[in-house]
Structure 1
Amino acid sequence: MPLSLDEYYRSGHLYLESERGREEVFTLLAKELETSLKENRWRKALWVADNIYDFVKKSNLIYANFDLPNLSGLRQESDEIKKSALKFLGEKDNIKLFKKAIVRMDKASYKSRVFLILIKYLPEIEGLPLVHFTDLYLMIFNTLYFLDKTEGAEVERFDLGDMLVRASLRYDCREMCASFLSDRKLKDLLDSEEYRYRFTPYREYGSKLVKALDNMDKKNKPEVAVLTPFVFTDMLFYLIDERFEGRLRKGLIEGKEKILLHIRERVDGLFEGDDKELLKEMISFRISTRIDELAKSKPFGPGYSVAKELPFQFQNQRIENLKD
């Protein structure tokens, strides 16, 4: 008999201690997440998101509940519980539902809680296709551009915007992000030296990009889903293009039309209503302009220096040295 919600509340700590029990727990969470989307019950979706976040961060209250007879065993299994939670997050159906929840939720505070687990933990998921990072970029830009339409107190909307500004720096899309910001305070934060030093790109994300491009390079066959995330990046593009001796730049220039089509298809799949047409126009224009600029700039070769392309604080940076 499948694990019920009542049984999970009563005895979830017992199920989490074994591999088979964890499978039942995450099957239940998947069912609850699916139900929340069908019924627009956002508190249920938040409950699932919060559970996943706590399991990955190892901050779930069960680890501090000294009344549990199996507390020691749970703590010993915390790494395995985290692995199961990351696997759950990366499964195609679940990540699709989390993305739908972000897009369809009206309240800023709700969006923030679901965005948080995607922003922080997608880079930790082994083998996650890069298309999910393209979707993350699009959701960040869309939310920032329509921030005023999001429900909630002014401070809640600002907190959501601030989180996404920091995410833009973590995912190295500061220049693109600036095109979708109208709030002066958020723009100032995006441009501030404090934020640019504190929120450098995730090392795990940079490593994922390198690995995916390396695999594509070995096949000697362009893959639009692999190339697309690079059109949003600033520093990472130059660092990785140097590593691949200009082949990344060449791939973006030659694949321009396919990349634009891919982005429009992702927008159509993610968003609803008339607003998505405006987003498609804005994104397409910015990406087209970016690739055209790359085509006109000096390519990798004799006399090329990646340092000249980077902000001064990153001129000695390498992918391997990026902070966590």
Structure 2
Amino acid sequence: MVGVLEGFATIAVIVAVGWLLAHYRVLDEGAQVTLSKLAFHVASPALLLTVMQRTPLDAVLSRNLLASLLAFVMVVGLYLLLARWRWPTATLGSRVIGGLSAGYVNAGNLGIPIALYVLGDVAWVAPTLLLQLLVITPVAMALFDNDARGERPSLGRSLRRMATNPITLGAVAGLLIAVLDVQLPRVIASPVELLGGMAVPSMLVAFGISLRRGPRPAAGRSAGHVWTVVGLKVLVMPAVALGIGLALGLRGQGLFAVVVTAALPTAQNVFTYAVRYRREVNLARDVIFISTFVSVPVIVAIAGLFHAVAGV
């Protein structure tokens, strides 16, 4: 369990730095937007390129990938049904942020250490990482771009948006490098790695600024919306992943990996997307903040259950 706590503690410290910088007025809301733009247009594409070119493809093309996809689709579908009933006036972009907040897990800076220390192998989180980077993110970016331009989603426009979005380009470039087994020269690889190293700190510092300068998390009329999404993310998604994994024949460590990954909190990427497209920024911020804390006892409970029942 030390690995779980270390992963969460690392995030908390960097977020606290952002909070303190905003509290002492070293950085303000303008810096938050600038950091988010830096992460979206430069650092995140570089990080995705670096991660994807190192991802072992033979480890991700498995039933775990299918289980992760089905769990995401079911949870997002449930959110959209609830949103149509509870928040019928929400825009397309707002619903995309809500859906991502409910199903897009922190498979990177939290998933990797948890996979290493709790599951015993980083490869266990690779299916979800690949799914989010190469399938979910490009589709979401296309929907955001269409919403920002007031256009109805269409296949042609969506494909064009995917082909020009920096997040998608970084992930696809990394995958192509891995598939073609290309070795980038150090004069290119080193700057890309340095730029990618800014992605997570930039997102977390911007997040900390928003916690200090924005409204109190889950306050006012938005509280019901926030807690609904948190419940879907931290409680419903692991349960759905467990059912899907069992139905697909997963057992033991494979099933354990699927359920733990589904229980991870909402990724900071969602906040970056919300700021970039100016859709449900406070919702994304609050769900990430609350789900990060709530997921700790949930993951610990899942680990204890699997250890007692399956000996994992």
TM-score, structure 1 normalization: 0.26
TM-score, structure 2 normalization: 0.26
Q: Which has the higher contact order (CA 8 A, sep 6+)?
A: 2
Bigger share in helix: 2
The higher radius of gyration belongs to 1
